[in-house]
């Protein structure tokens, strides 16, 4: 069933004009498809049961999205208790979750969902400025609206300041005022964090082949983070460029990871690189430029590395 849902999501994104990453059989992965349309980049995880979204997967999904300046998104069908409601936006671990129908309505018809799920039920964002203007123009008090909506005067004041309201309360206010008040909830905007999310300190790098390479990237000025559930082993970013990084470790998965990294760098318009421990005449591995440990530790300027990657990618074609 997950394969069927993933195929539907890929088809929807393709019909909406997105350039898609290729499918890969590698597991586990923090994301299933990366999609680009113009300047917008989506990183999508597909789950039939969204309760299967673990915190480590969500953390890596957010991490990769942050480095790529992309939108992390989960598309699912149900939770353990019930199907996902069409037209509603859910969130878990700081990632928005949508039913397929919600994503379809948004991409095909431009219909932004009005409802979002939060502890206690379903809510809508009210246009607080409009609510206050209508109340004052009609000579109504906070108490008048509170009585009509079945809430406290303080709640009405908070709605006017921008607090969301439960769907039933919003409906009563709209019926009483005979005016629309609900504001769309854009699913492609970042989800509200469940707590303060501060930038993690730069990871320490061990004195291994991989650690030496990543330390060299950091010393060039790249912000570097390792990954556990992505085709690439690490991701680096400076003010100008993003580098998806892999290592030729001799494992059976290495060719698949190199091919996936090459494809992802194309879709995301970033650089891909596979580092090798010993000097080699090979310029690319499954389409991803190859750089030796000896070469990378000599670079002091990130532009030197980026020029080399561009040159070797051109030779590999």
CATH of the domain at 43: 3.40.1350
Q: What is the mean pLDDT of residues 210-235?
A: 95
Higher pLDDT, residue 192 or 209: 209
Mark whether 90 and 148 lie in a shared domain.
no
48: left (phi over 0), alpha (psi -120 to 50) or beta: alpha
Mark whether 215 and 312 lie in a shared domain.
yes
Note whether residue 188 is domain-resident.
no
Q: What is the pLDDT of residues 148-188, one digit of tens each?
A: 999 999 999 999 999 999 999 999 999 999 999 999 988 99
Note whether residue 52 is domain-resident.
yes
Q: β-strands 19-20, 33-37: how paired?
A: antiparallel
Mark whether 237 and 311 lie in a shared domain.
yes
Note whether residue 198 is domain-resident.
no
Last-in-domain residue among 73, 96, 113: 113
Mark whether 301 and 234 lie in a shared domain.
yes
Q: What is the pLDDT of residues 284-310, one digit of tens each?
A: 999 999 999 999 999 999 999 999 999
CATH number at residue 247: 3.40.91.50
Among residues 94, 92, 3, the alpha carbon closest in space to that of 47 is found at: 3
> How much of the chain, in percent, has pLDDT values that exceed 90?
82
Last-in-domain residue among 81, 113, 145: 113
Distance CA 290, CA 294 (A): 12
- pLDDT tier, 251 (very low <50, low <70, confident <90, very high otherwise): confident
Q: Domain range spanning residue 48?
A: 2-113
Mark whether 233 and 286 lie in a shared domain.
yes
Note whether residue 189 is domain-resident.
no
Note whether residue 92 is domain-resident.
yes
Mark whether 264 and 220 lie in a shared domain.
yes
Mark whether 164 and 222 lie in a shared domain.
no
Mark whether 19 and 104 lie in a shared domain.
yes
Between CA 266 and CA 105, with CA 110 as vertex, the angle to 5 degrees is: 90
Mark whether 24 and 107 lie in a shared domain.
yes
Note whether residue 282 is domain-resident.
yes
Note whether residue 192 is domain-resident.
no
Mark whether 307 and 220 lie in a shared domain.
yes
Residue 242: predicted pLDDT? 97
Residue 136: predicted pLDDT? 96
Mark whether 135 and 108 lie in a shared domain.
no
Note whether residue 62 is domain-resident.
yes
- pLDDT tier, 248 (very low <50, low <70, confident <90, very high otherwise): confident
- pLDDT tier, 145 (very low <50, low <70, confident <90, very high otherwise): very high
Distance CA 261, CA 259 (A): 5
Residue 202: predicted pLDDT? 66
Whether 196 has a pLDDT exceeding 80, the answer reads no
Predicted TM-score (pTM) of this structure: 0.90
- pLDDT tier, 25 (very low <50, low <70, confident <90, very high otherwise): confident
Last-in-domain residue among 61, 82, 113: 113
Domain count, the chain: 3
> How much of the chain, in percent, has pLDDT values that exceed 70?
97
């Amino acid at each position: 069933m997950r394969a069927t849902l993933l195929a539907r999501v890929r088809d929807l994104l393709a019909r909406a004009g997105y350039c898609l990453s290729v499918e890969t059989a590698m597991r586990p992965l923090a994301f299933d498809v990366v999609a680009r349309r113009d300047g917008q980049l989506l990183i999508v995880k597909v789950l039939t049961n969204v309760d299967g979204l673990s915190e480590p997967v969500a953390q890596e999904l957010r991490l990769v999205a942050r480095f790529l300046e992309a939108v992390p998104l989960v598309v699912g069908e149900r939770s353990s208790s019930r199907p996902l409601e069409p037209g509603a936006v859910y969130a878990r671990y700081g990632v928005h979750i949508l039913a397929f129908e919600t994503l379809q309505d948004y991409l095909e018809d431009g219909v932004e969902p009005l409802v979002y799920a939060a502890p206690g039920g379903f809510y809508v964002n009210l246009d607080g400025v409009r609510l206050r203007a209508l109340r004052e123009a009609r000579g109504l008090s906070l108490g008048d609206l509170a009585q009509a909506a079945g809430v406290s005067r303080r709640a009405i004041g908070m709605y006017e300041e921008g607090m969301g309201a439960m769907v039933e309360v919003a409906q009563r206010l709209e019926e009483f005022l005979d005016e629309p008040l609900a504001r769309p909830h854009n699913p492609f905007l970042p989800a509200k964090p469940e707590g303060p999310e501060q930038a993690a300190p730069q990871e320490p790098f061990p004195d291994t082949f991989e650690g030496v390479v990543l330390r060299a990237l950091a010393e060039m000025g790249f912000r570097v983070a390792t990954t556990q559930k992505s085709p690439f082993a690490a991701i680096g970013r400076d003010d100008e460029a993003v580098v998806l990084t892999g290592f030729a470790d001799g494992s059976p998965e290495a060719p698949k990871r190199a091919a996936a990294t090459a494809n992802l760098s194309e879709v995301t318009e970033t650089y891909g690189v596979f580092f090798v421990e010993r000097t080699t005449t090979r310029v690319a591995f499954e389409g991803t430029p190859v750089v030796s440990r000896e070469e990378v530790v000599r670079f002091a300027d990130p532009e030197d590395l980026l020029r080399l990657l561009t040159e070797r990618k051109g030779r590999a074609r």
